[in-house]
Amino acid sequence: MSVELTAGTSPEPVVDKQWEPPMPPADLIFDDGEPLESNRHRIAMNALIRSVQQAWADRNDFFTGGNMFLYYSSDQVRNQDFRGPDFFVVLNVDGTKQRQGWVVWAEGGRYPDVIVELMSPSTARTDTGIKKDIYEQVFRTPDYFVFDPFKPNSLQGWHLDLASGYQPLMPNERGWLWCERLGFWLGTWEGTIDRETAVWLRFYDREGNLVLLPDEAAQQVAQQAQERAEQERQQTEQERQRAEQERQRAEQERQRAEQERQRAEQEHQRAEQERQRAQQAEEQAQQAQQLVEQERQRAEQESQRAQQAEEQAQQAQQRAERLAAQLRAMGVNLDNL
């Protein structure tokens, strides 16, 4: 945002943070009609605002704004020597309150906890000079950062030491700076925001994850939902395949059981055939035995008949011998007959 400072003045440190002017001005201006340096500056500012709002969507104890007037003293109002930071966050305030700007005496003497200035060639000296002094000595803002959206390596930051003022922040191995008040890293990210591709200033959480913009978060939710749907589809497909495999195994078991039943039936039939053959053999054996018995009986009968015939022959011979003896006794010579 534009900056106008009264020539020859130097801001003095404020000792009493609770100081309020006895009669604060009421006719404050909240729009000077001056746009940001470029469309990229506007996108960069909105990206910072929207990402903090997205990260803390469940909180109402902070306010974040940018490119809006910030009033902190009556002299400033009279001289119109300061307009406000490009991006700032104030913690532990009512985040639901509607504000056209930030008026310190109307906010209980609260100054920004974090400020980011988006530099340009025309503002870089002021952002790292006079403004930095005001934020350090008057606002006592704990964390201050500057970044030129057209210069990816321009990020600088300071943390306020109560005894010695702003101390430069040392970047980590990724070139990020730690913002203690927000609990976020501040670093660069290359990508497209609002249809413009550039290296943007972004927040990262303690684990190094990018703090998403609302549309990115929505896209992530949609992607996660799609991934879950895909996982569920895959799980359903796996379940279907497992069910099909189980069905096939069951069918194989059924077929094996049927084969076993058929084999058992065949074995039963063979056993029945064997039983029948055994029965037939037994019957044949009985029949043979009966035939043998009949033959024995016939033989015995024949033997008996032969014995009877022999006995009859013997009896006939005996009768013949007796008759012959009688005839010889009677003087009949049988040889002459």
Q: What tens digit of pLDDT does each residue of 88-115 get?
A: 999 999 999 999 889 999 999 999 999 9
What pLDDT is stored for residue 232 in this prediction? 94
Q: Are 43 and 194 in contact (CB under 8 A)?
A: yes
The single-letter code of the amino acid at 157 is G
Grouped pLDDT means (10 residues each) for the chain, 337 residues = 38 46 52 67 96 96 92 70 84 94 92 96 94 94 98 97 96 97 98 97 97 95 93 93 93 91 89 87 84 84 85 86 84 73
Tell me the C-alpha to C-alpha distance, in Å, between residue 100 and each of 11, 46, 67, 145, 271.
25, 16, 11, 24, 103
The string of pLDDT tens digits covering residues 154-177 is: 999 999 999 999 999 999 999 999
pLDDT for res 81: 60
Whether this model's pTM surpasses 0.75: no
CA angle 174, 180, 185 (to 5 degrees): 25
CA-based radius of gyration for the chain: 61
Strands 114-118, 87-91: pairing kind? antiparallel
